[in-house]
Amino acid sequence: MMHKPAFRHLFSLMITVTFLCVSQSHARVFELTADGPMTIQQAADQAQAGDVIQLAPGVYKQRVAFTKNSGEFGKPITLQGPADAILDGAMPMDIKWEDVSFITKGLYRTPITWRPWYVTANNQHITQFYYKRVKIGSTGNKNTEWPGLFEKGPSGRTLKGAEAIAMVNDDERMLYMRYADNTNPATQDIQLSPKFPNVLVDGVHRIVIRGITVRNGWCGVYLKNTLGSFVEDCKIGPTQHGIQLAENADRCTVRFNDITLNPLAHIDPKGDGRGNWTNWLATKTHGYWDHFGISFADSTGGNLVHDNHVHDHWGGIEDHSKNADTNDGSLIHHNLVENIADDGLEPEGSQPNCQWYDNVVRNAICGFRIKPVKKGPMYIYRNIIYDCGEGFRNFSTSPSKPDVYVYQNTTFARRSAYSSNSVFDDGLKNYHYYNNLFFGSNPWSNAKKSKLPNWHGDYNVFVRTGDSSDWDKGIEILKQQGLDPNSKFIKAGTVVVKDLAKPNFELTSQSAARNAGTNISKLIGKTLPGLEDAKYQSANVDAGTLSFGQSMPKVPRNRNDISDLAEAGYFPAADAKWRRAIPDEKGSNTTGSPMKVANEISRYWEGKVKAQPLSQASMKQKEAVEIADDVKLGENLIENPQFAQHTGDKVPGWKLYNNGGTKHTLHVDTNQVPKGVAQSARIDMQGTAGGLGQFLQRIYVKPGKKYRFTGYLMSNVPGAGLYQIKIYNGKQELARLSSVKSSGSWKKAVVDITDTNVNKIEIIGRFKQTGQTSGKSMWFADMSLAQVIGSGSSSSASTSKASVASTPTAVAKTPAIDPSSIETSTDTATPQEGNLLENALFADVDGKGAAEKWKMVNGKNTHHTAVVDTEEKPEGVGQSVRIHIDGEGKGQGQMFQRLYHQPQGKMKFSCYLKGDIAGIAFVQIKIFNGKKELKRISAPRNTTDWKKVSVEFENPNINKIEVIARFKQSGYVQGKNIYFADMYLGPASE
C-alpha cells in the first residue's frame, strides 16, 4: 500500500551560512551555493535521515557520493534544487591544442594528464572513437585504424553526420579531435569528464535526488546497493549514460525526468538514409558501442521507472541484467522515448515478472528490441511504437527459453512489424504474440539467416503500408510456420485508425482491429498483467493498444493526474528490508563504487607513456619501412605449415581450442584445397560460445628483423574467420595484426610484421562461434612465416596489410623453436598434505605457458591471459600465475578450478596474492550441493605486495567446490597484472 505523509513541520534556525538547523532532534536544511564554503559532498557526508541539501541556482563543478548515511521511511535524505542548479561533472584539464594536419587535415591533439571518458563541446555530446578498437596495427586495415578513420570517416563516409569526433590515445596520453568542417577545437568550449557518476548512491538507502540539472559526466545518477531511493524531476544531459539502476538497487523509483544526450551529431535515425549511418558506425563499430538514457544492470528488482522523457539519445531504456537471479518484478511504464539513434526499449537477461507497458516510442531504428531473456516470464503490453525502422525485433536466443508475452501493442514501422535477427538453435518457442496491431511493409523479416519464426502468434492485425513485395513473402512464411491462423492481413490504404499520418491510433468505428483479438486469458489459461479489465475478458477484444473509444494517451502523464503516486521516501513500505541479488564480495555493506576515489583518476595511467606521439617524421618512417610485394623471403618458420604431417586428424604443431560451450573439431581435408596445395586444415565449428575460436601455433623469432606471414583461408559462411597475428616482446604483447576475412572462395592473406622488437609470434586462425556459424566449416591452408631478407634493425610501429593471390607457398620444413622454456619447481611455503587442488603450485605448464588444470574465462570483449611466472613469486615459493587484464567485461573476471568432494568437517583455503593496484583481486570459494549453490565465501583482497590470505568454511551438505580467482575487468584496470601463488584447499587444522 502506498502511504501518504502526515502534515509535518520543519522548524529551522540559521546558525551558519551553510545550513539551517533546529536542534539535533529535528531535520536540517543545508543551503548550499556554487561558490561554497560547504561542498555538496561535505553536506552529503553529514546529512542524516530527514535532512535536505538545498542547492541554490548556479553551476556546481562537483560530483557527490552518498555512501555514509541512510534516510528512513518518510524521512529520506534529499538533494534538491531548481533546474538552474547544475551539477557539472567535468574536471579541469590544461588543454593545449596542436595542429597535426600532417596526419590528416583538420586534426588537432592535446596532451592530457588523466584519462577522460566523456567529451562535450559547447554543452553537446561529442562522438568518440575507442582507442583499443582503432589503434594502429589492431585491424589490419588502415581505413579502420584511427589515422584513416579521422581522415576518411567510417566506411569512407567522411565525418559529416558525426560532425566532430574525439579519441583518447591511451598509449600517447593524447586527446585527438577533428570537426567535419576542420574547426579548431581551441575556439570551442571543450569539457572532459572522468569515469565517475555525477551522483552516486552506494550502500545507503532512501536517498532522493530531485529537480536539479546534471551534465558532463560518464553517468548522471548511479544507484547501487540501495533500497527505496528516488530520482525525480531532474534534467540529465549531456552525459554518456543517464540514470543506471545497478547491482542490488532494490525498489528504487526513477520518474518525471528529462534525459538527453544533446548530441552535436545528427542522431535522427531518418536523417541519413537508414539512420545517421556515419555516426552509428563511428559509435557502434569504432567507438564505445552504446549509451543509454535509463539502464538496469543486475538490480535486485521491484524498481519503478515511469513517466520519463528520454530523447535525442543513442539508446532509450535498456536492461542488461545478465545474472539470472536479478531484476525481479521491475515496472517500466508511461515513458516517452523519441528520436533515438539505436533502440528505443531493450530488455535483456533477467526479466522475471518484469512489465514493460504503456510506453510510447517514436523515431528509433528499432522500437522494441528483445535481446536474449535468461529468466522470465516477461510481459510487454499496451505500448505504442511508431515511426521506427522496425517495431519488435527478436534478437538472439537464450538456452533457458523463458516465457515472453507480447500483447495488445500498436506499432507503425517503416519496415517489418516484427523481425528475427541472429535467432538460432531452437528459436523462440516460448514467445507469445497476441492481439497486436501492426502497421508495416512486411509482417516478418529475417536478418543474419535466423531460424524461421516458431513462437506462438495469433489474433494479430497486420496492416500493409507501401507496396513492398516482401509483404506476400512474409505472410507465406508465417502461414508455413503455422503462425497467425486467425490473424488479419489488411491491404494498403484501408482506414483502420483515425489518422495514421499524424498519427492518431484511435480506432475508427469500422476498424478491422475491432473484435479482431481474443480473450487471451481463456486462450492460455491464465490472466496476464494488464488484462484484468472486463473488456479484455469478453469474447470480443479489440487488437492493439487502444480499444474502440479510447483516446490517444498523454505520455509522460501529469503528476497531478496520478491518484496513487507515492511521495518520495514513502516507497517501499516502512517494514521493507533491503534485498541483495548480487552476493557481497567484500564482506561489507557495499560491493564498491565505480572509481569514486579521486586519486584513481590518474592511477589509470600508472607507469611510463607507452608510445611517443605520432610525428611527421614517424609517419614518413612508417611509410619507409613497409615491405614491398616482391621482397625476398627466408625459410618458413612454421612447423607443419601445409598439414602434411598428420595421424588421422591429429596435426603436430597446431592446437585447436574448445571451451565449455564449443565442440569444434579439426580435420585434414584433401578435397577442399587451394590450387596446387595438397591438403588444408578444416575446422567444423560446433557451439555458440560467442567471441572468436582459435587454432594456433607459437613461434619464437630473432628480434631486429622483419617478417611476412602468408596463408590461405575460406569458409562456407562469408566473413566467418581470419588470420590474427599476435606479436610480443617477451611477455609484453605489442600488437594484434589481422588479415582479410574469409569468403566462400579461397583467399590468400598477407600480413607484414615490421616492428623489429618482436621475439615471439602467434599465428592464430580465428573463427566465429555463433549460431550463424555452428554446423559450418572454416578452412586454413598453406601458411608461411618468413624473415624478410635484408631487413634491418630499425624499429617502427607494427603494420599489416592483406591481399588476395593464387600462388601456393613454397614449403621449407623448419620446425618451430620449442616453447617449453619455463622452469618450474614444487617449492612451497604452505604444507601440501591433504591439498585437494590439482596443480595448486602452478608447477605444471601447458603449451601456452598457462597453468594446467586451471581455466581462464574470457567474454566477448576480453582477452585476459594467465601464464606461469617464475620471477614474480613469494619468498620460498617456486612460481606464481600472472593474469594480465586485457579488455573490459561486466562483473568480475575469473580463473577457476572445480572439484567434487564431500568434506568431513571444517575446510580451509589459503593462497598468496598481489596486484599492480590494491583491491582489484581476491579468491572466492563457491560451495554446492548438486546444482544448488549453498554459499560464496570470499578471501581478503590483494595489496600491491605479496600477502597470504585464508578463509575457513563448513557445511555438511557440500559435494562440489569451485575455487575462483576473481579480478576486476574495467577500463580502470586495463593492462594491469594480478598474481596468485601457493594455493591450498583442504582440511582445516584443529
Give the domain CATH number at 739: 2.60.120.260
125 is a domain residue? yes
Kindly state the average pLDDT of the residues 696-709: 91
Q: Is pLDDT of 821 > 70?
A: no
| 873 plus 964 within the same structural domain | yes
pLDDT at site 797: 34
| Domain-ending residue, one of 764, 788, 812 | 788
For the chain, percent of residues with pLDDT exceeding 90 = 64
Question: Is 879 inside any structural domain?
Answer: yes
Contacts of 555 (CB under 8 A, 6+ apart): 307, 334, 335, 336, 358, 359, 360
**In terms of pLDDT, which residue wins out, 459 or 740?**
459
- Regarding predicted confidence, which is higher, 732 or 563? 563
777 & 889 share domain:
no
- Contact between 570 and 2 (Cβ < 8 Å): yes
pLDDT at 771 over 60: yes
The stretch 268-297 carries a mean pLDDT of: 84
Number of structural domains (the chain) is 3
Measured between alpha carbons, how far is residue 194 from residues 851, 894, 912, 972 in Å?
Answer: 37, 27, 33, 11
- Tell me the three-class secondary structure of 463-499, residue by residue: EECCCCCHHHHHHHHHHHCCCCCCCEEECCCCCCEEE
Q: How far apart are CA 198 and CA 208, in angstroms?
A: 14
Does the pLDDT at position 588 exceed 70?
no
Mean per-residue pLDDT, 457-476: 94
Stated length of the chain: 990
Q: Residue 322 and residue 330: Cα distance in Å, rounded?
A: 15
Concatenated DSSP letters of 301-354: B--EEES-EEEEES--EEE-B-STT--BT-EEES-EEEEEEEEEEE--EE-TTE
127 by DSSP, 3-state: which?
A: strand
Range of weakest confidence among 13-27, 138-152, 449-463, 870-884: 13-27
| The pLDDT of residue 595 | 38
Question: What confidence score (pLDDT) does residue 76 get?
Answer: 98
Please tell me whether residues 630 and 773 are part of one structural domain: yes
Domain membership of residue 54 (yes or no) is: no
* Unique residue bearing C-alpha cell 594467465: 866
Element (H, E) at 522: helix 520-524
In angstroms, what CA-CA distances link 480 with 10, 393, 452, 489, 850?
Answer: 69, 20, 10, 15, 52
Q: How many CA atoms lie within 13 A of 78 on its CB side?
A: 25
The answer on pLDDT for 592 being more than 60 is no
253 three-state secondary structure? strand
What is the reported pLDDT for 805? 35
What pLDDT, on a 0 to 100 scale, did the predictor assign at position 232?
99
Question: In this predicted structure, which of 120-134, 330-344, 974-988 has the lowest mean pLDDT?
Answer: 974-988
Q: What was the pLDDT predicted at 627?
A: 63
Instruction: Tell me the pLDDT band of 621, cut-offs 50, 70 and 90.
Output: low
Per-residue pLDDT tens over the stretch 44-83: 999 999 999 999 999 999 999 999 999 999 999 999 999 9
Is the pLDDT score of 600 beyond 60? Answer: no
Contacts 24+ apart (CB under 8 A), 470-475: 470/416, 470/441, 470/442, 470/445, 471/441, 471/442, 471/443, 473/442, 474/416, 474/442, 474/443, 474/444, 474/445, 475/443
Whether residue 628 is found in the same domain as residue 757: yes
| Domain final residue, candidates 736, 765, 788 | 788
Q: Are residues 631 and 745 in the same domain?
A: yes
Is the per-residue pLDDT at 693 higher than 50? yes
My answer on whether 743 and 883 are in the same domain is no
Assess whether 778 and 638 both reside in one domain. Answer: yes
Quickly state the pLDDT bin for 140 (edges 50, 70, 90).
Answer: low
CA quadruple 543, 547, 548, 550: dihedral positive or negative? negative
At residue 181 the predicted structure's pLDDT band, cuts being 50, 70 and 90, is very high
781 and 864 housed in the same domain: no
Given 788, 806, 821, the domain boundary residue is 788
Helices and strands (H and E) in the chain: how many: 8, 71
Q: What is the pLDDT of residues 30-43, one digit of tens each?
A: 999 999 999 999 99
pLDDT of 263 > 90? The answer is yes
Q: For residue 901, is it within any domain?
A: yes
Band the pLDDT of 311: cuts 50, 70, 90: very high
Q: Is 51 inside a domain boundary?
A: no
Residue 157 lies in a domain: yes
**3-class secondary structure, 516:** coil
Residue 263 preceded by cis peptide, ω within 30: no
Per-residue pLDDT at 137? 74
Report CA torsion sign: 166, 170, 175, 176.
negative
Q: Provide the mean pLDDT of the chain.
A: 87
- Residue 126, domain member (yes or no): yes
What's the domain range around 738? 616-788
Q: What is the largest CA-CA distance in the chain?
A: 94
Lowest-pLDDT range of 236-250, 257-271, 365-379, 622-636: 622-636
d(CA 383, CA 332): 11
Whether residues 774 and 885 share a domain: the answer is no
pLDDT of residue 729: 87
47 belongs to a structural domain: no
Residues 739 and 630 in one domain: yes
Tell me if 237 sits within 8 A of 259, measured CB to CB: yes
What is this structure's pTM?
Answer: 0.70
Which pLDDT score, from 0 to 100, does residue 315 have?
96
Confidence of residue 267 (pLDDT cuts 50, 70, 90): confident
pLDDT grade for 121, boundaries at 50, 70 and 90: very high
Asked if 893 and 777 sit in the same domain, the reply is no
* Residues 737 and 623 occupy one common structural domain: yes
- Reported as a single tens digit per residue, the pLDDT across 169-180 is 999 999 999 999
Q: Is the pLDDT of residue 764 over 90?
A: yes
Give the whole-number percent of the chain exceeding pLDDT 70. 89
